[in-house]
A and B are shown apart, each in its own frame.
Chain A
């Protein structure tokens, strides 16, 4: 597995949470990470589009970390109070403010689909980004798609 470089961002995993999966990833682990997330999503009872979309959201953010965030990152998945959470952290140079504005203000473009998609798939997305790295926290619906956002 690749080694993280620089100072890792602190975790937000709350006490009492049931950590399902944790790994460091790089380009060669994208498929392995998808398989692991798919396995845990299935064990939690997610099926069809909810199952696919969770794997997609995690894939988009791990891909972003590899492509824009220094080539590697760290993923944590946990279950807390009947909710599924994922945290994807990298030690890249952060997401430019204008790119974040574009994601919020527009629909899918030719590039930058990943964050736009993630916002539409997940119940909640928190992005903490700066020159020392990016951490994205997802809250994922366990029973119904966030239809109001689509």
Chain B
């Protein structure tokens, strides 16, 4: 399935990105640019990535998330992945980044 990214902005400055579909070799670059755009936006005070409808993500996609999380931290803002479904959570756990990206202790 193709990747769809929908941004909504909350009054408190949090940018929410709803991710629908698959993140793979063909879509990870667009995903990286979109998330970087949120992290680098001076009006944004936090980034929330809603993964409820993320059907598939590969290891390169997880690397994009980790680097975006690091970039956000360097800017002094928080980036979190929320509502990830069980198989995606399993992948994040296997790669040792679940707690860092979701803020939830395993």
Contact = CB atoms under 8 A, between A and B. Distances in A.
Contacts of A66: 25
Contacts of A134: none
Interface residues of B, number: 22
B69 to A, nearest CB: 13
A49 B90 contact: yes
B22 A34 contact: yes
A108 B95 CA distance: 6
Interface in B47-106: 56, 58-60, 62-63, 66-67, 86-88, 90-91, 94-96
Most buried by A among B25, B95, B96: B25
Nearest to A51: B87
Given A31-B22, A63-B58, A113 B90 contact: no
Given A31-B1, A34-B56, A59-B56, A67 B96 contact: no
Contacts, number: 65
A88 interface: no
Contacts of A55: 56
Nearest to A59: B58
B59 A113 contact: yes
A40 to B, nearest CB: 16
A63 B95 contact: no
A51 B88 CA distance: 12
Nearest to A118: B59
A28 B96 CA distance: 30
Nearest to B96: A108
B24 A63 contact: yes
A52 B87 CA distance: 6
A55 B87 CA distance: 11
Contacts of A49: 86-87, 90
B8 interface: no
Contacts of B56: 34, 52, 55-56, 59
A52 to B, nearest CB: 3
Contacts of B22: 31, 34
Contacts of B24: 30-31, 34, 59, 63
A27 B95 contact: no
20 contacts: A27-B25, A31-B2, A48-B87, A49-B90, A52-B87, A52-B88, A53-B90, A53-B91, A55-B56, A59-B24, A63-B25, A67-B25, A108-B59, A110-B67, A113-B59, A113-B95, A114-B58, A117-B59, A121-B94, A150-B94
